[in-house]
Amino acid sequence: MVKRIIQATEKEIKVPAGTKVLLWEDIGSFETKQKIPARRKFLIAENCIVEHIVIVHGKNQKAIKQTRHLELGRGSRLRSAEISLGAAKLEWQSNSRLADRADFTKQVLFYQSASDELQVQDNYVFTGLGARGQFSVSGVLSGAARARYFSDLAIKAGAQKTETRIDLKLFLLSKEAQGSLLPGLKIAANDVKAGHSASTFRLSAEELFYLSSRGLPEEQIKSLVIRSLVDNFTGHLSAATSRREVGKIFASYFPEQRQ
Amino acid sequence: MIDNIPEGHNSLWDSHNPSAYMKNTRRGLDEKLVRFISREKKEPTWMLERRLASLKIYEKMTLPDWGPDLNRLNLDLITYYARAADKPAQSWDDVPADIKETFNRLGIPQAEQSVLAGVGAQYESTVIYHSLKEQFKKLGVVFEDLDVALKTHEELVKKYFMQGIPPSLHKFAALHGAVWSGGTFLYIPRGVKIEAPLQAYFRMNAKGMGQFEHTLIIVEEEAQAHYIEGCSAPRYGIDSLHAGCVEIFVARGARFRYSSVESWSKDAYNLNTKRALVQADAHMEWVGGNFGSNVTMLYPCSVLLGEGASADHLGVAFANSGQIQDTGAKVIHVAPNTSSNVVMKSISKSGGRAIYRGLIDIGAKADNAVSSIKCDALILDDRSVSDTIPRLNVKNQSAVLAHEATAGQLSAEDIFYLRSRGLSEAQASATIVNGFIEPIVKELPLEYAVEMNRLVELEMENSVG
């Protein structure tokens, strides 16, 4: 699979019909000083196979705001992995439209700490017959971070045989962290399978006690939670090189995760 | 008067009586009408003051900017107050014959005989019948028309009235505060447990009517009761408005179940507000079936104020042709160790739109809160719509919260199986839909479960072919 690195200032990315490509997108990287466009469009034509990795690590960024539009063409398959590693303020809206038999799988992992604020609005619109969408979002909040994650699955009239699902999971690792989840389903076709789930988790007193009794301080236990999510996330990336590179970014962000 | 009504919904709910009492009414709302209502009811000054304060809030507030579009509802065409009877009777023999016949057809007197501890019946703006079995009166239970309770238990009413639902909550709460009339006052003393349900039935009869009954329920410590409300109205082709309020105060260690089966006419706007304030170790259960109406906006709310408080919300909504059923549940976890469970089922058919709209809010002090929400939607044809819009706010890291929603259609295999057993396609569909809502229906007393199943069958008429 050909790797294509998306440049910081690119506004429109076109993938011609029948292409196999790995799109690599690094937003707010430590090296990048160029201005990121407020809007970015992805046009994936018919019968493509695309892997798309998006990394947002805005440790040095005050605010990142972006609206993204994605058109996934008939019969195309897109595997997307989005990693967001904090920014003082991150506003992210993505609008995706899926044509007939398009197949979209997306995994999102975000980590917000200190007084970071995250607001995400993911809109997925199914317009064609027999499309499929599987979306999984895991978020970790520590410090006094705030997150609002909204996600809408809309199945238009005529988009029969659609199968889609979104799962939102939120881990709050501190008393001051707060999160809102709003997973919406809007269905105007009857021969569909659609679902969503949203859940928040905590480390139970028993789990904390068990791990503490093994000599692990609470901070390290929280690191282990993050690590398990990261491992789970990278495990889903298809290319070994992608797994290595994403692993490196995580390691640089969470030095305590290094072996 | 029942012109231009399509075939297929010939239920008894669509019949109506002549309404001579409407000659003395007028449409629209102003301060003069609010003062008139209060004067006619001979209310204490503090209630008039609260009405006028609510009216001011109502005039300032705009329509809700979420949920279905209400701009088609012309509030100037609504009749806000109509007195159908002078005072509530305590015997059905004293109820005017035509009104009595309506309630006979709805089966209320029969149910009173067989299964109920007490019954209230409201017709337009006034309660026409109220009764409580003697054995419960002796225990100190009060089950009255709220207008009557305002005179007989003024201090209690003053203490609780619109304290759970402030008029500033939204425009229709404010409207209610200004023009409320009739409704139920239920007081269950400390430690009293009533197994048989108490019931109130609210009936709108005249066209363009507004009904604003107020249900005020106080369940004292360690008490237990079950209250059921039913509602209906005939269809005229002109909008009517139901904007009732239900306030429930559940004290420490008490248990209360509120069930409602609402079957409004398909030109009614059902904009009801229901809220329970639940104290420590108390438990609140909401069981609801929403049928009929043009637009329904109804989200019973539990505020879990005391440690260990809990709430269950179970609901069914059926959206048929031209209907919007925007229903759901709200639970606000304020105290530690609180829990909630929400199970909602919706069915949309023939272009109907069923919406689940919910809120779970876990406050900063609600340590170890647990909440589970499950929503299932059945979409019976390709013209119908189902939306699920839950909102989950978590401000406490110790919360465990799980929301799950699914949507789908009737299984072709299930229908084939039932048809092979001799059922018609319509019967097979109705059977499957009744099975779909069974987890909710089974929580109702048998008579009401039968009624809810019957309503489903009525809605399923002409569903195939």
> A with B: how many residue pairs have Cβ under 8 Å apart?
109
Residue B3 falls within a domain, yes or no?
no
Mean pLDDT across chain A, nearest whole number? 87
What mean pLDDT do residues B249-276 have? Answer: 91
Out of A170, A184, A191, the one facing B387 most closely (by C-beta) is A184
Q: Which chain B residue has its CA at the smallest distance from A159's CA?
A: B382
- How many whole angstroms separate alpha carbon B346 and alpha carbon B323? 13
Contact residues on chain B for A133, CB-CB shorter than 8 A: none
B399 to A185: CB separation less than 8 angstroms, yes or no: no
Best interface-test mutation with A: which of B365, B375, B392 has the largest number of A CBs within 10 A?
A: B392
What mean pLDDT do residues B122-138 have? Answer: 74
Listed range (A175-189, B25-39, B129-143) with the worst mean pLDDT? B129-143
Three-class SS of residue B295? strand
Contact residues on chain B for A180, CB-CB shorter than 8 A: 391-394
What was the pLDDT predicted at B205? 65
Check whether A255 has a pLDDT greater than 90: no
Check whether B237 has a pLDDT greater than 70: no
What was the pLDDT predicted at B238? 63
A206 near B CB under 8 A:
no
A182 to B397: CB separation less than 8 angstroms, yes or no: no
β-strand partners of B211:
B242
B389 to A182: CB separation less than 8 angstroms, yes or no: yes
- How many whole angstroms separate alpha carbon B140 and alpha carbon B154? 16
A199 to B386: CB separation less than 8 angstroms, yes or no: no
Q: Which chain B residue has its CA at the smallest distance from A150's CA?
A: B391
Whether residues B341 and B434 fall in one domain: no
B405 to A197: CB separation less than 8 angstroms, yes or no: yes
What was the pLDDT predicted at B98? 65
Q: What does the angle CA B325 – CA B330 – CA B335 come to, to the nearest 5 degrees?
A: 170
The confidence band for A232, taking pLDDT boundaries of 50, 70 and 90, is: confident
What was the pLDDT predicted at A61? 63
The fraction of chain B above a pLDDT of 90, given in percent, is: 48
What was the pLDDT predicted at B311? 98
Q: Which residue has the higher pLDDT, B14 or B361?
A: B361
Out of B393, B404, B408, the one facing A193 most closely (by C-beta) is B408
Contact residues on chain A for B405, CB-CB shorter than 8 A: 183, 185, 195-197
Check whether A233 has a pLDDT greater than 70: yes
Whether residues B342 and B441 fall in one domain: no
B408 to A182: CB separation less than 8 angstroms, yes or no: no
Residue B19 falls within a domain, yes or no?
yes
Best interface-test mutation with B: which of A200, A202, A218 has the largest number of B CBs within 10 A?
A: A200
What was the pLDDT predicted at B17? 60
User: Each residue of B326-370: pLDDT tens digit?
Assistant: 999 999 999 999 999 999 999 999 999 999 999 999 999 999 999
A207 near B CB under 8 A:
no
Q: Which residue has the higher pLDDT, B203 or A176?
A: A176
User: Each residue of B376-431: pLDDT tens digit?
Assistant: 999 988 889 999 999 999 999 889 899 988 888 888 888 888 999 888 888 888 88
Q: Which chain B residue has its CA at the smallest distance from A144's CA?
A: B395
The confidence band for B196, taking pLDDT boundaries of 50, 70 and 90, is: confident
Q: Which chain B residue has its CA at the smallest distance from A197's CA?
A: B404
The confidence band for B65, taking pLDDT boundaries of 50, 70 and 90, is: confident
A192 to B407: CB separation less than 8 angstroms, yes or no: yes
Contact residues on chain A for B406, CB-CB shorter than 8 A: 193-195
User: Each residue of B275-324: pLDDT tens digit?
Assistant: 999 999 999 999 998 887 889 999 999 999 999 999 999 999 999 988 99
Amino acid letter for position A245: E
Contact residues on chain A for B386, CB-CB shorter than 8 A: 185, 187
Check whether B170 has a pLDDT greater than 70: yes
- How many whole angstroms separate alpha carbon A26 and alpha carbon A238? 18
What was the pLDDT predicted at B107? 67
Contact residues on chain A for B389, CB-CB shorter than 8 A: 182, 184-185
Q: Is the pTM of this model over 0.90?
A: no
- Rg of chain A, C-alpha, whole Å: 19
The confidence band for B23, taking pLDDT boundaries of 50, 70 and 90, is: low
What was the pLDDT predicted at B9? 41
B397 to A197: CB separation less than 8 angstroms, yes or no: no
What was the pLDDT predicted at B4? 36
Q: Which residue has the higher pLDDT, A183 or B25?
A: A183
Total domains, chain B: 2
Ranges assigned E (strand) in B14-97: none
User: Residue A196 is encoded by which pair of tokens?
Assistant: 């969503």
A173 to B397: CB separation less than 8 angstroms, yes or no: yes
- How many whole angstroms separate alpha carbon A62 and alpha carbon A116? 10
Residue B7 falls within a domain, yes or no?
no
Best interface-test mutation with B: which of A187, A197, A221 has the largest number of B CBs within 10 A?
A: A187
Contact residues on chain A for B346, CB-CB shorter than 8 A: none
B81 and B25 Cβ atoms separated by less than 8 Å: yes
Nearest residue to A182 (alpha-carbon basis) of A148, A159, A206, A132: A148
Whether residues B248 and B203 fall in one domain: yes
User: Residue A202 is encoded by which pair of tokens?
Assistant: 């905590």
How far away is chain A from the Cα of B361, in angstroms, using its nearest Cα? 9
Contact residues on chain A for B408, CB-CB shorter than 8 A: 192-194
How far away is chain B from the Cα of A33, in angstroms, using its nearest Cα? 35
How far away is chain B from the Cα of A184, in angstroms, using its nearest Cα? 5
A187 to B402: CB separation less than 8 angstroms, yes or no: no
User: Residue A111 is encoded by which pair of tokens?
Assistant: 């980590």
Contact residues on chain A for B401, CB-CB shorter than 8 A: 198-200
Residue B245 falls within a domain, yes or no?
yes
For chain B, the residues whose C-beta falls within 8 A of a C-beta of chain A are 364, 377, 379-409
Whether residues B453 and B372 fall in one domain: no
A202 to B399: CB separation less than 8 angstroms, yes or no: yes
What is the number of other CB atoms lying within 10 angstroms of the CB of residue B62? 7
Contact residues on chain A for B393, CB-CB shorter than 8 A: 178-180
Residue B383 falls within a domain, yes or no?
yes
What was the pLDDT predicted at B5? 33
Contact residues on chain B for A195, CB-CB shorter than 8 A: 404-407
Helices B446-460, B425-436: inter-axial angle, 10-degree rounding: 140
B226 and B254 Cβ atoms separated by less than 8 Å: no
What was the pLDDT predicted at A248? 80
Strands A193-201 and B400-408: antiparallel
What was the pLDDT predicted at A257? 47
A200 to B401: CB separation less than 8 angstroms, yes or no: yes
Out of A177, A193, A197, the one facing B397 most closely (by C-beta) is A177
Whether residues B65 and B127 fall in one domain: yes
Residue spans per domain, chain A: 2-203
Whether residues B425 and B314 fall in one domain: no
Best interface-test mutation with A: which of B333, B385, B397 has the largest number of A CBs within 10 A?
A: B397
What mean pLDDT do residues A72-76 have? Answer: 97
From residue B437, alpha-carbon distances to B187, B317, B334 in Å are 31, 9, 31
Whether residues B367 and B402 fall in one domain: yes
How far away is chain B from the Cα of A54, in angstroms, using its nearest Cα? 27
Residue B27 falls within a domain, yes or no?
yes
B125 and B181 Cβ atoms separated by less than 8 Å: yes
Q: Which residue has the higher pLDDT, B401 or B121?
A: B401
Q: Which residue has the higher pLDDT, B168 or A26?
A: B168
A191 near B CB under 8 A:
yes
- Kind plus residue range of the DSSP H or E element containing B448: helix B446-460
How far away is chain A from the Cα of B345, in angstroms, using its nearest Cα? 14
The confidence band for A258, taking pLDDT boundaries of 50, 70 and 90, is: very low
Check whether B108 has a pLDDT greater than 70: no
B400 to A200: CB separation less than 8 angstroms, yes or no: yes
Quickly tell me which residue has 């006979």 as its tokens.
B104
The confidence band for A150, taking pLDDT boundaries of 50, 70 and 90, is: very high
What is the domain range of residue B39?
A: 12-411
What is the number of other CB atoms lying within 10 angstroms of the CB of residue A69? 16
DSSP string, B263-306: EE-TTEEEE-EEEEEE-TT-EEEEEEEEEE-SEEEE--EEEE-S
A157 near B CB under 8 A:
yes
Mean pLDDT across chain B, nearest whole number? 85
User: Each residue of A43-56: pLDDT tens digit?
Assistant: 999 999 999 999 88
A182-199 core/surface letters (b: 16 or more CB in 10 A; e: else)? bbbbbbbbbebebbbbbb
User: Each residue of A196-224: pLDDT tens digit?
Assistant: 998 887 776 677 778 778 888 877 777 77
Length of chain B equals: 465
What mean pLDDT do residues B19-38 have? Answer: 80
Residue B146 falls within a domain, yes or no?
yes
How far away is chain B from the Cα of A109, in angstroms, using its nearest Cα? 18
Q: What does the angle CA A179 – CA B288 – CA B438 come to, to the nearest 5 degrees?
A: 100
Contact residues on chain A for B379, CB-CB shorter than 8 A: 187, 189-190, 192
How far away is chain B from the Cα of A124, in angstroms, using its nearest Cα? 14
Residue B363 falls within a domain, yes or no?
yes
